[in-house]
Structure 1
């Protein structure tokens, strides 16, 4: 006789094993980080590990050991190419145990070469400082703008404040300075690597409020995420030169950023 307390799961009419972890994964209560691995190395590894630890402390009240995470990534890569797209998901801890981690390994994704076209949408991610699993809203808007021929959605608050892309951070060029919007947004690892590299190169950057009506005043723009850095050629009806000098410099600095052994 089947234990009535045992969950039953069917996928397309077929029963599958009722692993309690599956229910945690389906709940959406968790967070993750995404990285591109080349030769068993990743840019900004310390930033990825800090993000995972900080979010685990905020969501679950306990830390996440970075060496444990590194070991699990290495283990997941052991029978695959050392070039890969890797994600580390963290879910609610089991009773009496630590946080549940899930590492996924997929084929590597090359850095985007083509300039991106952005379409502004009225949406802000909840708890935007976290790379959490509640991504329906941003994915919904991303799919809509792609149907209109754009590459990325630019998330804008009701007062017109620019925050971030659906899956990117956005930066602007003003003279010799990089401007990042000061609004609720994820501090993306690639953006943080860029800030570090700009500091090393002695190049100025700042974070300040940017509104959608300010966009036309900038000389260029770019987006960044785990796949790399891409120039922006347009936001709505405003066009930017894809080869703006500072955008080229930003991309070069990122490509030259050091890689860390996992």
Structure 2
């Protein structure tokens, strides 16, 4: 599909996009849209509303977001990768919405290898603009022969992947690292599905020294769920039955009409 960009329902102009080109104060959500619907739409809208309150002092109506997405997709393919960026131009009272629609994306088909790096995102609970650190360390990881980076804090405490949450399987429990990280929408969608399969989730401290003791590890974002086969020199069983189960659970999650 051809890429489409709109700000507040109008085609992007150089003047309108200048605040984003010269600064990075804002936040966003990224979703996969199929047939005009997205998984966990309420999670995306809730994320945008709460972050707008924190950064700009007022909420963001979900109806406005949905209309902006529909407008950007009108007349084009019903399947797309959609990013909604919230920012406030200088002197403006209200925030503006940039909607970017690109070709749809899927979770990687091959198990991924991760290189741990000593980096945690600032204000990690926000999906904010300015992802230099993630891009920088992701490039270093790929140059070293890995697929991506794994962000860690002091003492080797695991936080999150560069572009996804990481979860570790221990029996019938999915362990999320209890460290500064974004609670992703894909993570929320998956958690809603666990109980139906007799699985549970918990949060606890996970250190690099601990990862070899888990049954498996997965990455999760709006693309889906995919396995981790290696973290640094520690090999993980990407073909463990629990991994396939988590992939199926996410794939079976309902889609919400935008």
TM-score by length of 1: 0.90
8 A Cα contact 2:45 2:62, kept in partner: yes
Partner of 1:105 in structure 2? 101
Instruction: Output aligned runs, 1:1-262, within 5 Å.
Output: 19=15, 21-92=17-88, 95=91, 97-262=93-258
Write out the 4+ residue segments of structure 1 that deviate beyond 6 Å after TM superposition: none
How far apart are residue 111 of structure 1 and its match?
A: 2.5
In 2, the alpha carbon distance for the partners of 1:62 and 1:202 equals: 40
How far apart are residue 21 of structure 1 and its match?
A: 4.3
8 A Cα contact 1:25 1:91, kept in partner: no
In 1, the alpha carbon distance for the partners of 2:143 and 2:226 equals: 20
The unaligned stretches of length 5 or more in structure 2 are 1-12
In 2, the alpha carbon distance for the partners of 1:215 and 1:58 equals: 34
May I ask how many residue pairs the two structures share in their alignment?
A: 246
The unaligned stretches of length 5 or more in structure 1 are 1-16
1:30-69 CA-to-partner distances (Å, cap 9, x unmatched) read 0000011110010000000000000000000010000000
8 A Cα contact 1:193 1:257, kept in partner: yes
Of the two, which has the highest radius of gyration?
1
In 2, the alpha carbon distance for the partners of 1:253 and 1:94 equals: 44
SS at match of 2:156: coil
In 1, the alpha carbon distance for the partners of 2:167 and 2:241 equals: 14
1:169-218 CA-to-partner distances (Å, cap 9, x unmatched) read 00001111110100000001101111111134342111111011111111
8 A Cα contact 2:80 2:103, kept in partner: yes
In 2, the alpha carbon distance for the partners of 1:99 and 1:150 equals: 39
SS at match of 1:118: strand
Give the 3 Å change call, closer, same or farther, for CA 257–20 of structure 1 in structure 2.
closer
SS at match of 1:159: helix
In 2, the alpha carbon distance for the partners of 1:261 and 1:95 equals: 34
In 1, the alpha carbon distance for the partners of 2:68 and 2:132 equals: 28
In 1, the alpha carbon distance for the partners of 2:107 and 2:114 equals: 18
How far apart are residue 224 of structure 1 and its match?
A: 1.1
How far apart are residue 94 of structure 1 and its match?
A: 5.6
In 2, the alpha carbon distance for the partners of 1:199 and 1:98 equals: 41
* RMSD across aligned positions (CA): 1.4
